[in-house]
C-alpha cells in the first residue's frame, strides 16, 4: 500500500499530477480541487490510495488523509468504483458528503455525474453508518472568496494553459460563480473552466 507520495510536481494535466519521487515520476489521479493546490516545480505531499486491477495499477491522490479515507469508504457501497468515488469528491468535499448522507440529501448526490435518483437513494441507505458525522461548518468544498479569480487563474496556469486562455476561461465561468447561492468550490469552477477550454480547442 502506498500511503502517500511526497516530492516535486513534475507535470499537471486536467485529472493527473506527476510527482517526482526518488527520480521516478508517479502519475497520481486527482480531483480538480486537489490539482488547484499544486504547482509545477513546487514540492507536494499527497495522501494516496492504490487501486489494483488485473490490467492496471492506478494511484489516486488527495490533499489530505480525510479525502483518502472517504474515497475508500465510498467504494464499500455496491456499484461504486474508484472513478465514481473520485467524481463524488470532485463535486463535494468529504464533509459535504457526510452531511448529505446524514441528512438524506438525494439532490446533493444526483449533482454528481453518473448518479441518478435511484442510485442516490441506494447510496444513502448503504453509506448511512459508514462515513461518520460531519465535522466542519456547512460548506460545499472550498468556498469561493473574493480572490477566487486569482486562485482559478493560478490553477489554470499551473496546468500549462497560456495566460490568455486562463483569462478567457475565468471570464467564461464568472457568471456561474456570481449567480451561485452561497459558496461554490473553486474545484467546481476549475472543472467548468477546463470544459470551456476543451470546447475551444
Look at domain 65-127 and name its CATH class: mainly alpha
Low-confidence winner among 5-14, 64-73, 149-158 (lowest mean pLDDT)? 149-158
Name the CATH code of domain 4-62 (choices 2.60.40.10, 2.40.50.140, 3.40.50.1000, 3.40.50.300): 2.40.50.140
CA distance 28 to 5: 9
CB 186 within 8 Å of CB 173: no
Q: What is the pLDDT of residue 173?
A: 86
Cell (9 digits) for 115:
448518479
Q: Where are the domains of the chain?
A: 4-62, 65-127, 148-200
Cell (9 digits) for 95:
464533509
| Closest listed residue to residue 32, CA positions, set 169, 162, 135, 129 | 169
Average pLDDT, the chain: 84
Give me the mean pLDDT over the 38-63 stretch: 93
CB 98 within 8 Å of CB 134: yes
Is CATH 1.10.8 what the domain over 148-200 is classified as, yes or no?
A: yes
Give the contacts of 141 (CB within 8 A, at least 6 positions apart): 33, 91, 92, 93, 96, 183, 184, 185, 186, 187, 188
Q: What is the pLDDT of residue 124?
A: 93
Q: Is the confidence at residue 144, as pLDDT, over 70? A: no
Provide the strand spans (E) within the chain. 4-12, 16-21, 24-29, 43-53, 56-62
Q: What is the pLDDT of residue 189?
A: 81
| pTM (predicted TM-score) | 0.69
Give me the mean pLDDT over the 125-136 stretch: 82
CA distance 104 to 161: 40
Q: 201 versus 162: which is more confidently predicted?
A: 162
Domains 65-127 and 148-200 fall in the same CATH topology: no
pLDDT in tens, 74-124: 999 998 999 999 989 988 889 989 999 989 999 889 888 888 999 999 999
H/E run at residue 80: none
Q: 1 versus 87: which is more confidently predicted?
A: 87
Amino acid at each position: 500500500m502506498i500511503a502517500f507520495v511526497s516530492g516535486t510536481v513534475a507535470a499537471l494535466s486536467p485529472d493527473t499530477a506527476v510527482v517526482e519521487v526518488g527520480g521516478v515520476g508517479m502519475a497520481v489521479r486527482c480531483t480538480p480541487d486537489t490539482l488547484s493546490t499544486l504547482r509545477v516545480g513546487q514540492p507536494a505531499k499527497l495522501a494516496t490510495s492504490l487501486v489494483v486491477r488485473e490490467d492496471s495499477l492506478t494511484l489516486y491522490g488527495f490533499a489530505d488523509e480525510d479525502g483518502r479515507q472517504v474515497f475508500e469508504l465510498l467504494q464499500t457501497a455496491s456499484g461504486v468504483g474508484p472513478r465514481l468515488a473520485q467524481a463524488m469528491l470532485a463535486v463535494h468535499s468529504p464533509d459535504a458528503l457526510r452531511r448529505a448522507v446524514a441528512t438524506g440529501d438525494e439532490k446533493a448526490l444526483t449533482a454528481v455525474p453518473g448518479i441518478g435518483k435511484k442510485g442516490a437513494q441506494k447510496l444513502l441507505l448503504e453509506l448511512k453508518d459508514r462515513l461518520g458525522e460531519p465535522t466542519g461548518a456547512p460548506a460545499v468544498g472550498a468556498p469561493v472568496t473574493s480572490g477566487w479569480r486569482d486562485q482559478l487563474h493560478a490553477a489554470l496556469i499551473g496546468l500549462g494553459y497560456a495566460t490568455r486562455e486562463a483569462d478567457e476561461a475565468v471570464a467564461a465561468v464568472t457568471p456561474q460563480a456570481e449567480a451561485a447561492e452561497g459558496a461554490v468550490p473553486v474545484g467546481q469552477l476549475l472543472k467548468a473552466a477546463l470544459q470551456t477550454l476543451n470546447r475551444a480547442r
